[in-house]
Amino acid sequence: MHVVTIAVYAASGTLAHADLRQFLLVAPAMLIPSYLGAHVFTRFTTESAFTRAVLVALLASGIAPVYGALRAWTK
């Protein structure tokens, strides 16, 4: 859907060349995690197990910077 929107904007002249170049740089950052998430989701037996795994990953990604900041603060 995003690709169609960008294509319509580009065809109408709304986007500059720099905008399209930036989209091409950012597109893999959107598509690769989406593909990996869909692939991983199919490997879980239940939706609740997938949800639990995502919540654990979010918790870990939230704790990591706090831990790093506390280590830097105590030095």
3-state secondary structure the chain: CHHHHHHHHHHHCCCCHHHHHHHHHHHHHHHHHHHHHHHHHHHCCCHHHHHHHHHHHHHHHHHHHHHHHHHHHHC
pLDDT at residue 1 above 80?
no
More confident residue, 21 or 59: 59
Question: Is 50 found in the same domain as 31?
Answer: no
pLDDT at residue 58 above 90?
yes
In which band, very low, low, confident or very high, does the pLDDT at 6 lie, cut at 50, 70 and 90? confident
- This model's pTM is above 0.75: no
Q: How many domains does the chain have?
A: 2
| pLDDT at residue 59 in the model | 97
Question: Is 36 found in the same domain as 56?
Answer: no
Query: Domain limits at 33?
Result: 1-43
